[in-house]
A and B are shown apart, each in its own frame.
Chain A
Amino acid sequence: MRRRPGILRLAPGLTLVLLIGPVVAGLLGTLLPALSSRAAALGELLSWPGLGPALWLSVKTGVMSTVLALAITLLLIASLQGSRAFAALQHLLSPLLSVPHAAAALGLAFLIAPSGWVARALSPWATGWEVPPDLLVLNDPGGWALTLGLVAKEVPFLLLMALAALPQTDAARRRLQAQTLGAAPSMAFAVAVLPALYRQLRLPVYAVLAYGMTAVDMALILGPSRPPTLSAQVVVWMNDPTLATRGIAAAGAVLQLFAVLAVLALWRGGEVLARRLLLTFATHGLRGRKAEPALRGLALASGAGVAFVLLAGLSGLALWSVAGLWSFPDALPESWSLRIWAQAGDGLAQSTWTTLVIALSATAMALALTLACLEAEFRHALRPGDGALVLLYLPLLVPQVAFLPGLQQLALRLGVEGTPLAVAASHVVFVLPYVFLSLAAPWRAWDGRIALSAHALGATPDRVFWTLRLPMMLRAVLTAGAVGLAVSIGQYLPTLLIGGGRVETLTTEAVALSSGGNRRLIGAYALIQMILPALGFALALLLPALLFRNRRGMGVGA
């Protein structure tokens, strides 16, 4: 405590600089050229005929997917929590959180494409199709496939965030209180729990909204192409080898940033309206008894739908990677083959290695910073305010496409663009918030009397950290590490831009392959892409259970 007063005390500040610095520097690097020397670029952007549709598509898919994902999440908790169906859904959906966005999108694409599983299941007996129909189900101009993909990917995230926040809202007692006053379960939830829960859920919802409006990898796989969403178009411009479209790309990125800010402001207004509506419900004594069965049915159907879309899609990926001959409309392959694994083995191994090196470095860095912050907070009795939480969320709220181009310019000037290390450093910006959010609650819940007992035995703060707290927190630390790995493995845009297209990870490869037609190859890449994070979580469960198998007090019993 007294021996090295300075070092740990600096950790929170250093972490914020590493987190916010790249975002601010990147924004400036994007904004300044777009606003000053290249004012012409703005005119160029405004005269692009696709601008209106592309912008509208971004707003529509982002808002629709967020509204739907939030509605399904709240519906599940409101009408099903405590039931066996809810427990089953929770078990199905929790592991799916770690599936990278690109893999989930590719799985959905395999499912709903004209030659996908859904069409196969219905053909030819119901549809009469002997060959895949010429329908634009996937990449539809309305962006519905993209919306569906976003909803399926965000429901597990919002559900877990909500379940983590619920205990802090005194939910069970409040709800019971409202029910004893005559409200049906869902209404009791909406009136008595939702306002407090939403306050905790607000930042995750904003992150989902910002992501939904600006996701590039999912938009490239599931979204329309003429025009694509604004963010996807910006990336197309940025990747133009002639560099002639750099200016318009920067202008588009700036427009995307302001679009997200405007929609977030509108959403905030919507929150106020929704709150008024809820208050009206409450004061008018609405009980919601008639609606309850319908809400339950809707919750079951939508929850099962999300689980089906994700699981069937991912199974499809796995199946294609080992399929031999598989002609339409057969539901299963006629023969099996490991040919694609043998053919693509070298490339796969190379991408897997690059992915792992980047993910492990970024996660190790994020874990070290998080632990240093939390330990500084403990030793110096610091109390981070709400502002710190907003800053932590900042990299998730600012559209990637708005600050990564500027950051890429910076990396170019520093001469580190295109190196795996620079890519890993950029991943830290996105990995750190998730690692911190995952570790902070269990770390802070540790019984401080253990530290006091040990100090009274003469143990220094460092000894308490290394021999008591860290081993006791092993499971939480490894879980946070697994979360970090999953986030890093799934990153598309930072890898593409900071890597200058030369750092090839499983995600960039899978997205690049998605426009081609080799389903077996796509399946193989996407399969590895989703297995790696799953392995991380398995390790986080197994390792503490193995190490502490003879320690009942550690709560790791098999």
Chain B
Amino acid sequence: MREGLCLRDLHVMRAGQPLVSLSAEIAPGEVLCLMGPSGAGKSTALAAILGALPRDFIGSGQVLLDGRDVSALPPHLRRIGLLFQDDILFPHLSVAQNLAFALPPERRGRALRSAAVEAALEEAGLSGFGPRDPATLSGGQRARVALMRALLAEPRAILLDEPFSRLDAERRAQMRRFVLDTITARAIPALLVTHDREDALATGGRVLTPMGVPVSP
């Protein structure tokens, strides 16, 4: 049994056109990069791994997590985390409520849960931001909350959908470092989708197109 995220002959077709063709193993702590211009099937590949393909797409192949086939599971049971390019924070909840939403129900007890939320905020350098309205945070702060929220759900793998593309150049490098370091430190296998060479270089790992062709960034 191999640890990590394994994509076995993952294919997606739409209207007879192949969009995705991937076979790859991503070890815990490794970051595999998917690169290509927009419309090249990057987001389709993520949807296929999450189990959320729209109806007119035809997918085949398997997704294995730590050796377990999760292909038949709905998205909420796969334990695969996701970061969008826009940090999708729930607008009607406070920052702390957003984080608590992700905590698994097995973590019982109000004190324990709020301690976990507080610890996550501290790790992101956002101590005391719990009661804030997410709409009042800066772009970089929101991106960090979104990452901590994804990690609090204790995912076995994480997908990053151009998570840095909305940040300005300076914050971008900072945020990229923070995300990659955090993921490596927790030994989570990660798949980063990007059209940016800098992002691909920073991961220091393999880079593929959605059709599975290796590229050198």
Contacts and interface: CB of A to CB of B under 8 A. Distances in A.
B82 A456 contact: yes
A453 interface: yes
A12 to B, nearest CB: 16
The secondary-structure label for the interface of chain A is: helix
Contacts, number: 79
A457 B91 contact: no
Interface in A521-558: 548, 550-554
Given A381-B55, A456-B50, A450 B88 contact: yes
Interface string B82-93: 101010111110
Given A1-B74, A452-B50, A458 B82 contact: no
A460 interface: yes
Contact of A453 (B74, B79, B88, B152): B88
B102 interface: yes
A270 B169 CA distance: 61
A456 B75 contact: yes
A311 to B, nearest CB: 37
B136 A552 contact: yes
Given A450-B90, A453-B82, A458-B79, A552 B133 contact: yes
Interface in B88-105: 88-92, 101-102, 104
B202 interface: no
A449 B91 contact: no
Residue of B75, B77, B153 most packed against chain A (CB within 10 A):
B75
A2 B155 CA distance: 21
A455 B88 contact: no
A9 to B, nearest CB: 15
Residue of B79, B88, B91 most packed against chain A (CB within 10 A):
B91
Given A460-B76, A554-B91, A554-B92, A454 B135 contact: no
Contacts of B149: 457
Contacts of B121: none
Contact of B153 (A456, A461, A550): A456
A553 B90 CA distance: 9
A457 B92 contact: no
A455 B133 contact: no
Contacts of B76: 1, 454-461
Nearest to A544: B92
A36 interface: no
Contacts of A447: 88
Nearest to A379: B74
Contacts of A461: 74, 76
Interface stretch (A53-61, A135-143, A464-472): A464-472
B80 interface: yes
A35 B55 CA distance: 49
A459 B101 contact: yes
A467 B155 contact: no
B156 to A, nearest CB: 11
Interface in B102-150: 102, 104, 133-136, 149-150
B133 A551 contact: yes
Nearest to A556: B92
Contacts of B28: none
25 contacts: A1-B74, A2-B74, A381-B54, A449-B86, A450-B88, A455-B74, A455-B76, A456-B76, A456-B81, A456-B150, A456-B155, A457-B81, A457-B101, A457-B102, A457-B150, A458-B76, A458-B102, A458-B104, A459-B101, A468-B90, A472-B90, A548-B92, A551-B92, A552-B133, A552-B135
Given A454-B101, A456-B50, A472-B90, 8 more contacts: A455-B75, A456-B82, A456-B155, A457-B76, A458-B77, A550-B133, A551-B135, A553-B89
Interface of A: 1-2, 381, 447, 449-450, 452-461, 467-468, 471-472, 548, 550-554
Which 3 interchain pairs have the tightest Cβ spacing? A553-B91, A456-B82, A455-B75
